[in-house]
Amino acid sequence: MTEPIETLLYIDGAAAAASDGKSYGIFNPARPGELVGRAAAGTPDDVDRAVKAAHAAFPAWASLGYEERGALLRKVAAAITQDMAEVDARARLFTREHGKILRETHLEISRLGERFIQSANYAERLARDEVIRAAPNDTIITRQPRGVAALVVPWNWPLAILGAKLPQALMAGNTVVVKPSANSALAPTLTLHRIAELLPPGVVNILTGSASRIGDAIIGHPLVRYVNFTGSVDVGRHVMTVAARNITPVTLELGGNDAGLVLHDADLSGDAFHRLYRAAFMSTGQICYALKRLYVHRSRFEQVVEGLRAVVDAQVIGDGLLPETTMGPMNNAKQLKVVTDMIAQARAKGQNVIELGQVPDPALYAQGYFQRPTLVIDADPSLCVVREEQFGPILPILPFDTEEQALALANDDQFGLASSVWSADIDRAVALARRIEAGYSFINAHGPSAQDGNGPFGGFKKSGIGRNFGYEGLIQFQGYHSITAAPGTIA
């Protein structure tokens, strides 16, 4: 068995234990008795030191030009992705603490590097001001960084989601305090240490520990000028409340209950069912914008059910480090219970519930936080599995008769994060997608493997406020600044 590791905080250019010396254990969700490592349990005093360090480092960092910051971001991207032996060691650690399969952990690490480069590539565009020459005055419209940005990262895709916040905040000229999830802190913290070491002291500060102990201290600190949070609706509501005490602006990327609409003319040849599988079950379904409700035209319903069932049943459930495994355990017991409760409710109501997939090691399956991928066929629309976010390997499939009915079903939800339309007629699919109440829509695909990071990402309704990714996500880390002079005086 690999020896447990220990990760530290990182404040003002140096790694440090928590001020009271405490740490907490992180265990392997495939083998919940196996200690993977310990992370420092930060305190409110540590928060204060980290925020003040970021605040002190802000003027010098903000004074750098965009090209200068971009060059440093490219250096970071190379450092965290090019040493393949080190990358593989970090990926294997991440799989052990998180549960997801090794292929996906490598994907996360590479995505993080790509997003540093993508943010650096905006340097020229960011440097351009808009000048309005019109009565009564000439006006320069520019932007400036906000100051200290608090970045709160969830457990499900922590490295990829870090890539939606950290490079953008830094490129915009902010310094940061990063709070990884307590459930998945080891590999993200080691990655963040490597990043912080390459930048001036205080620019990147890292705090691990329980949200109940340090969350409010970070969000509510008077020197924090911006909060970017990804997580649940309930916690997002709390973050918004705490931030409001200091009138601190927030970006909240919250839950989703994404609808996919398979129209009567959908092309289901080739790898279509594999794309549907990845849309719903990638990362054991623990993705905020996974496909979570599948609506299928009645003329194609049986074909979709049978085609998807065959692909899902071929999946191998087990330890994510094994090359044959295609679906690992869920990350934690709490989220596993959410999913198993939904399955139990559907069964109790007489639904057609099918658990699929191959389990080569039943003893391991019984021991870990595993759940076989599950389909609920012709699901009752009132079920929790339809009305609420599952965040796990379960997918309800429901028929529809007309596109207007499908649209109404898709929009009848408290969330509005992402959606997809599946049709051989791209113009038709795009026209329908425009009417779906969602911040991001896919055509003939769905989820992280199909996302374009050049476009802004976020949701409507309870899916949150603001956007990550793309140029639009980056400039949310800045505030507009208008400079006005007499007409004809600005060059």
Give the count of beta carbons closer than 10 Å to the beta carbon of residue 140: 14
CA dihedral 73, 76, 82, 84 (to 10 degrees): -140
CB 423 within 8 Å of CB 266: yes
Active-site residue among 97, 104, 108, 253?
A: 253
Q: What is the largest CA-CA distance in the chain?
A: 79
Active-site residue among 97, 288, 403, 437?
A: 288
Closest CA to 420 of 399, 381, 448: 448
CA distances in angstroms from 427 to 57, 247, 402, 447, listed in the order given:
50, 43, 17, 21
CA–CA distance, 476 with 459 (Å, rounded to integer): 15
Q: Is residue 467 classed as helix, strand or coil in its secondary structure?
A: coil
CA–CA distance, 227 with 155 (Å, rounded to integer): 18
CA–CA distance, 161 with 42 (Å, rounded to integer): 22
CA 4, 10, 15, 21 torsion: positive or negative? negative
Q: Is residue 454 classed as helix, strand or coil in its secondary structure?
A: coil
Packing angle, helices 102-120 and 84-98, rounded to 10: 120
User: Would you call 384 a catalytic residue per the annotation?
Assistant: no
CA–CA distance, 393 with 292 (Å, rounded to integer): 9
Closest CA to 204 of 382, 377, 76: 76
CA–CA distance, 448 with 430 (Å, rounded to integer): 19
Q: Which residues pair with 228 in a beta bridge?
A: 151, 251
Length of the chain: 491
User: Would you call 253 a catalytic residue per the annotation?
Assistant: yes
Cα angle 289, 115, 78; round to 5: 140
DSSP-derived pairing of the beta strands 464-465 and 418-422: unpaired
Q: Tokens 């695909």, residue?
A: 445
CA–CA distance, 273 with 278 (Å, rounded to integer): 9
Token pair listed for 160: 């990829």
In degrees and rounded to multiples of 5, residue 457 shows phi and psi of -130, 135
Q: Which residues are designated catalytic?
A: 253, 288
